[in-house]
Structure 1
């Protein structure tokens, strides 16, 4: 399913920056277009002229975070030798850095899914698409170190990773991503 995107003007960038901050801090449903427009310093008319709807702002917010996340992970993976367990663990290291720097309240996709569970919503494909990409990433990385077990190990790593992201946002115990990384290392160590 292809998700429609808009061409970003300077005003649209201001709207997106304000909406991104507000959506992440307060939740998508709790933030109205009046507040976004006021925070962005644009009129409501400008907001609708650029985006057409709040749903499109949500699409742009999630698509932007997804694109930045994928680049962030790719940059981290480029620093690690291909074909090693360290490449799999680098995903957890990237997540720990990302969450510390830009996602103290947990994964924006998981948080958005708590509010958007209707597959007909235009942002739904972005949310589930990122998680599908993560599973494929783990599968590809595990295939490099344990080719015969990638289809079994990748979902287990995905569960560790996603559970750690949720636990990070809930702040139930310290360093859940580090703990998940250690568990992933043990799981993969058995595959050497």
Structure 2
């Protein structure tokens, strides 16, 4: 609820914000449209006015997450234009730093794929396309950084990042973020 003198978000933004919080906490399938509308301090009719279906709402949410990831990579490209290794390192730190922000639920993209199964074909295609672009961008950065086998290094980094997100969920060992960062930093140090 907004504080006094604090502007209230428009309904569409409140709905997206509520959906994000609920999807992270409870998962997509378990969360009802009614629960999203209630958390957004809105109505089901208003939700459907902005999003024709729950699938469209999930797709919009995933689209915003994709924009966030792309924006981070774009910012890193701008701030470290002369160092592809620094761009990779910055992206790794972004993923690691956001592990706690996801309520230790891991990668929202991977979780969504696992949860929706064969439902929501457009959402599935959107996520798969995002993951492929992210890998291709890492591969291009590995090439630019001078890796002997940029495709292999990009695959290793991708697998390590996917793995740390799973470990964050199951807490199988302490200081996994530091361990992950050290592994990737040592690989990137070989490129300098």
Q: TM-score, normalised by structure 2?
A: 0.84
Distance in 2 (CA, whole Å) between partners of 1:173 and 1:152 is 26
What residue is the counterpart of 2:91 in the other structure?
91
Whether the 8 Å contact between 2:89 and 2:185 is mirrored in structure 1 is yes
What residue is the counterpart of 1:128 in the other structure?
128
- Confirm whether residue 46 of structure 1 aligns to residue 46 of structure 2: yes
- Confirm whether residue 30 of structure 1 aligns to residue 42 of structure 2: no
Distance in 1 (CA, whole Å) between partners of 2:73 and 2:106 is 17
Distance in 2 (CA, whole Å) between partners of 1:120 and 1:29 is 11
Whether the 8 Å contact between 1:106 and 1:170 is mirrored in structure 2 is no
Residue 119 to residue 38, structure 1, CA distance change in 2 (3 Å) = closer
Distance in 2 (CA, whole Å) between partners of 1:80 and 1:102 is 27
Q: Report deviation, 1:124.
A: 0.7
What residue is the counterpart of 1:6 in the other structure?
none
What residue is the counterpart of 1:140 in the other structure?
140
What residue is the counterpart of 1:115 in the other structure?
115
Q: Report deviation, 1:184.
A: 1.9
Distance in 1 (CA, whole Å) between partners of 2:76 and 2:159 is 21
- Confirm whether residue 78 of structure 1 aligns to residue 78 of structure 2: yes
Distance in 1 (CA, whole Å) between partners of 2:18 and 2:30 is 14
What residue is the counterpart of 1:65 in the other structure?
65
Whether the 8 Å contact between 2:11 and 2:42 is mirrored in structure 1 is yes
Unpaired runs of 5+ residues, structure 2, are: 1-8
Q: Report deviation, 1:119.
A: 7.8
Count of aligned pairs between the two proteins: 184
Secondary structure at 2:99 match in 1: helix
Secondary structure at 2:121 match in 1: coil
- Confirm whether residue 167 of structure 1 aligns to residue 167 of structure 2: yes
Whether the 8 Å contact between 1:77 and 1:91 is mirrored in structure 2 is no
Distance in 1 (CA, whole Å) between partners of 2:119 and 2:31 is 21
Secondary structure at 1:123 match in 2: helix
RMSD value, Cα: 2.3
Q: Report deviation, 1:147.
A: 5.1
Unpaired runs of 5+ residues, structure 1, are: 1-8
Distance in 2 (CA, whole Å) between partners of 1:177 and 1:129 is 26
Residue 87 to residue 49, structure 1, CA distance change in 2 (3 Å) = closer
